[in-house]
Amino acid sequence: MATERLTLGLDDPMMARINRLLEKGFPWMKFPGALEQQFLLDLAEPRRRHFLISSLISLLIYNGFLVVDYLMTRDVFWLAVQLRILFFTPLSIAFIYLIWRKKGIFIHSLPPASLEVIVVSSGLIAAASLAFILSETKSPFSPYYHVGFTIIVLYGNIVQRLRFWYAVVFSTALLGIHLAGILLLGSFPHRLLWPILSLVLSAVAFSLTANYVMERDERKRYLLTMRERGVVRELTRAHERLQELSRVDGLTGLYNRRHFQEYVERVWERSQFDGDDVSIMMVDVDHFKKYNDRYGHPAGDECLTQIAKVLQGAVRRPEDLIARYGGEEFIVVLPQTASAYAVGVAERVREAVEALQMRHESSTSSHFVTVSIGVSSCKADFLLKASQLIAAADLALYQAKHEGRNRVCVQELTKPVSTP
């Protein structure tokens, strides 16, 4: 029965429930709701592997008891051979083979309790075969043969590690078979009744206690693992968030210069191999210092935020990247973009900023906030570097400012350009 895996964070309600269970315990050996289903699903494969190994070992021991059959109930030895070798062994091997080969069915299709039912059934069949041999033998040693029930109890409760409540059902049913075997003997020696019965009862009590402790510890380990996963997942998310914040400008929400430098290098390397064009846009707010001096820094911050939004609206392709490059400077990398397209994008940005109509009465080039944009483009070449393309965009920006601002200028990169 497929169940979606739980994912936990430190503030998740399930995490709070796990902490409560670890603090207060779970005496009834059951987790609440979805956590119980997840526990059974997560442990299904380890239990399947354990079942296969322990079943093979138990089957060998079960058939090894033919020696005991021969020594204590020799008159029905052939019956014991038939029950053990010809009936129980082929049935067990068939189930072991199916569980080995049909892993997906037992883990994802059948209920988690199916393996417990198989273990209980196999143990009770083994106990019934023992009782049947007792009912048929006339051997004087048959009362001692009841000690074999303790082995079957240990098989289910300790070796196969049945879930506790299944172990209780299994032990109760086995005691019933044991008592029925005593009654079927008719002339069971009274002096042996209590010693044999107390031996089986003690095996049941001790094995159930051990079974309870093993399952409690297993469940506790599972909860601790789940909590640890939640903590690790939360720390990972926090680390990723910190990494993201370290690459994002706090004011505009754009990427910062550090991230831009890393990204443009990756774009450049890829474009060198593909032979693609790459374009850079460098955007500067005209007379921004005067704007800050006249309207104050809060207004200056708002101005930069508005221009960042304009850039985000104009540069739309997923592979394009916008970053805040300096105080009032922005930079854009346009992969697989020739000069003509880049100039068109730059003109859209310039016109959109001008259309904002943000008053700038201290500007000597306009009554409103404007931007100057430098564009550089080239076909990525192994003889050139990304830093040279950025330097060319910076030269184009310088040209735009020199020619009167509020304009777009282009600098084609055809040879190395020195960084100013």
**Based on the domain organization, do 303 and 364 belong to the same domain?**
yes
Whether the per-residue pLDDT at 211 is higher than 50: the answer is yes
Which residue range forms the structural domain that includes residue 71? 13-233
> Has residue 91 been placed in a domain?
yes
Say which range, 48-52, 72-76, 231-235, 347-351, has the weakest mean pLDDT: 231-235
18 plus 53 within the same structural domain? yes
In a domain, residue 349? The reply is yes
Q: Quick one: residue 287, left, alpha or beta (phi over 0 = left, psi -120 to 50 = alpha)?
A: left
Spatial distance between the Cα atoms of 215 and 224, rounded to a whole number of angstroms: 14
Output helix, strand, coil percentages for the chain, rounded to the nearest 5.
65, 10, 25
Quote the percentage of the chain above a pLDDT of 90: 62
Give yes or no: residues 139 and 194 share one domain. yes
Residues 46-50, mean pLDDT to the nearest whole number? 92
Shared domain check, 267 and 407: yes
Average per-residue pLDDT for the chain: 89
d(CA 21, CA 36): 12
Residues 67 and 170 in one domain: yes
Q: Do 217 and 331 have their domain in common? A: no
Residue 282 domain-assigned?
yes
Question: Does 2 reside within a domain?
Answer: no
63 pLDDT more than 70: yes
Q: Do both 265 and 300 map to the same domain?
A: yes
User: For position 4, what pLDDT does the model report?
Assistant: 44
Q: Among 168, 198, 233, identify where a domain stops.
A: 233
Residue 420 half-sphere exposure toward CB, CA atoms < 13 A: 9
pLDDT of residue 353: 95
Residues 222 and 347 in one domain: no
For residues 398-417, give the mean pLDDT: 85
Instruction: Residue 387: give its domain's CATH number.
Output: 3.30.70.270
Final residue in a domain of this structure, among 218, 233, 248? 233
**In terms of domains, do 176 and 290 share one?**
no
CA dihedral 158, 160, 161, 162 (to 10 degrees): -120
* 418 in any annotated domain: no
Q: Is residue 3 part of a domain?
A: no
- By the 8 A CB rule, do 368 and 265 touch? no
Confidence check: pLDDT of 78 > 60: yes
Closest C-alpha to 17, from 236, 234, 223, 225: 223
The structural domain count of the chain equals 2
Q: Which helix (H) or strand (E) holds 58?
A: helix 44-64
Considering the domain architecture, whether residues 116 and 26 belong to the same structural domain is answered as yes
Q: Looking at the structure, do residues 24 and 128 belong to the same domain, yes or no?
A: yes
- Residues near 220 by beta carbon (within 8 Å), at least 6 away in sequence: 22
Q: Which of 80-84, 120-124, 152-156, 240-244 has the lowest mean pLDDT?
A: 240-244
Contact 166, 118 (CB under 8 A): no
Give domain status of residue 241, yes or no. Answer: no
Domain co-membership, 223 together with 278: no
Query: Which range, 114-118, 156-160, 195-199, 364-368, is most confident?
Result: 156-160
Residue-wise pLDDT for 212-255, tens only, equals: 999 999 999 999 998 888 888 887 787 777 766 678 888 998 99
Assigned domain for 5 exists: no
